[in-house]
Amino acid sequence: MTQTNATIPLPTPRLDSQYSVESVLQGRRSVRAFGHEPLALADVAQLLWAAQGVTSADGLRTAPSAGALYPLEIYLAVGNVNGIAAGVYKYLPDIQRLKLWAEGDHRHNLADAALDQDFVKRGAVVLVFAATPARTTGKYGERGVRYIHIEIGHAAQNVLLQAGALKLSAVVVGAFDDQSVERALQLPRSEQALYLMPIGRR
């Protein structure tokens, strides 16, 4: 694992666009076909902000969280993004930056872990939604696990709608071997991988 203290600043997310929520909802589809055009760093920043971006001075985020405990951790497996090298990055929502987690293109490892669903490695990036369960179960006990799963749904739908507004293809993947994904990304033992989302140009 290659981790450094260096971080990559992300562009400030935009707060409006020409697309209405209603039109994006109408057009939202799971798409497993991706073109070869790279993503812009601004698009990546917008997607990550949609997932877990901070939206207020007191730390509230784009997706609701039981007790405002925010157990979700977002990783980005980059293969084809202008301005940043292939690698796995961790999103740092409090400062809108990426931290290099592991060097190299790990999309193929994620595709293998996802029961050989080949399209996973063809997205320009793969968002990996992980969680630190103890952050929520420490307050809510075992019911906190349910709250985390609900929260993943909120965050994932945010990203899907944002991808639609950016005219990007995206699909959620829940069929994967947990330990294989966690090994591929070298996640801390305190974290669990819960959802994959390949995203790319149409």
**Read out DSSP for 82-129?**
TTS-SEEEEEETTTTEEEEEEES--HHHHHHHTTT-GGGGGSSEEEEE
Looking at every residue in the chain, the average pLDDT score rounds to 96
Task: pLDDT band for 4, please (50, 70, 90 cuts).
Answer: low
Average pLDDT of span 152-171: 97
120-148 tens-digit pLDDT: 999 999 999 999 999 999 999 999 999 99
Instruction: Name the residue ranges covered by the structural domains of the chain.
Output: 30-201
What SS3 class is residue 182? helix
| pLDDT for position 48 | 98
Average pLDDT of span 42-63: 98
Give the whole-angstrom CA distance, residue 43 versus residue 51.
13
Task: pLDDT band for 3, please (50, 70, 90 cuts).
Answer: low
71-104 tens-digit pLDDT: 999 999 999 999 999 999 999 999 999 999 999 9
| pLDDT for position 171 | 98
- The CATH code that applies to domain 30-201 is 3.40.109.10
| pLDDT for position 2 | 57
| pLDDT for position 200 | 98
